[in-house]
Amino acid sequence: MEQESSMKNTEKSTEHPESSWEKEHHSLWLEKKTFRIALVSTFSALAIVIGYLLAQFPNIELFTLTIFLSGFILGKRDGMIVGFFSSLIFTLFNPIGTSPLPLLAFQLFYYAITGLVGALTKIFLIRRKFYSLDGDLYKIPIILIFGTIGALMTIFFQIFSSTLDALIYLGSLDGFLLYFLRGIIFTAIHIIGNTLGFIFVLPGLIQLINKILN
């Protein structure tokens, strides 16, 4: 009996710390499979609808933020599912036109990774003393983290999508710099817009959803 008890204690002590963090910040609602499916569907639909509504405004979007938010709330797997399927539907039925295959493949990969990054960001934050489930998220460290992630993700998207565009339409990267500079204003709008969205909109949405789920 003593040996069995010591083995159980050893198992508890060697349990991966991430699991305890996730349990501490986990909602009972999210343990219900049907509710998670409903949330995945809701986040996917929301991302698509918002994407269509803002499609007429060049490089102003909340599509990325919505997918990131889904990963933050639902976790790695479901965040990636939301990112993949919402981007698949949005890009295939984009009012501006369907993306060429190489660019489409990159977009599906990018938005799936966006959902994953949202989940990993939460795992990172719940290890920090300045983050709490029901606390104020408009704190300097948190908005700096969100803003930096929003900016870096958008820069990554702009550089790689522009590179693929140059390869598709120019046939080489010889004119890439000129091609990139010609759209620098729209690139700047995209980066600034997403950064501000991650700073001012994202924390409030997370607080609101946390209150609803908990």
**Which string of b and e fits 84-115 if b means at least 16 CB within 10 Å?**
bbbbbebbeeeeeeebeeebbebbbebbbbbb
The burial class, CB within 10 Å (0-12 / 13-18 / 19+), for 13 is: exposed
Query: pLDDT band at 14, cuts 50/70/90?
Result: very low
pLDDT of residue 130: 95
- Say what percent of the chain tops pLDDT 90: 72
Tokens of 58: 């060049």
The 3 state secondary structure assigned to the chain is CHHHHHHHHHHHHHCCHHHHHHHHCCCHHHHCHHHHHHHHHHHHHHHHHHHHHCCCCCCCCCHHHHHHHHHHHHCHHHHHHHHHHHHHHHHHCCCCCCCCHHHHHHHHHHHHHHHHHHHHHHHHHCCCCCCCCCCCCCCHHHHHHHHHHHHHHHHHHHHHHHHHHHHHHHCCCCCHHHHHHHCHHHHHHHHHHHHHHHHHHHHHHHHHHHHHHC
Task: State pLDDT tens for residues 92-144.
Answer: 998 788 889 999 999 999 999 999 999 999 999 999 999 998 899 999 999 99
Task: State pLDDT tens for residues 139-181.
Answer: 999 999 999 999 999 999 999 999 999 998 888 888 888 889 9
pTM confidence score = 0.88
Judged by average pLDDT, the poorest of 15-24, 161-170, 199-208 is 15-24
pLDDT of residue 95: 78
- Say what percent of the chain tops pLDDT 70: 88
| C-alpha span between 146 and 142 (Å, rounded) | 6
Q: What is the mean pLDDT of residues 2-18?
A: 46
pLDDT greater than 60 at residue 9: no
8 A C-beta contact, residue 81 and residue 42: no
Number of Cβ atoms within 10 Å of the Cβ of 64: 26
pLDDT of residue 17: 42
What the chain holds in terms of domains, given with CATH numbers, is 27-213 (1.10.1760.20)
Average pLDDT, the chain: 89
Q: What is the mean pLDDT of residues 45-73?
A: 96
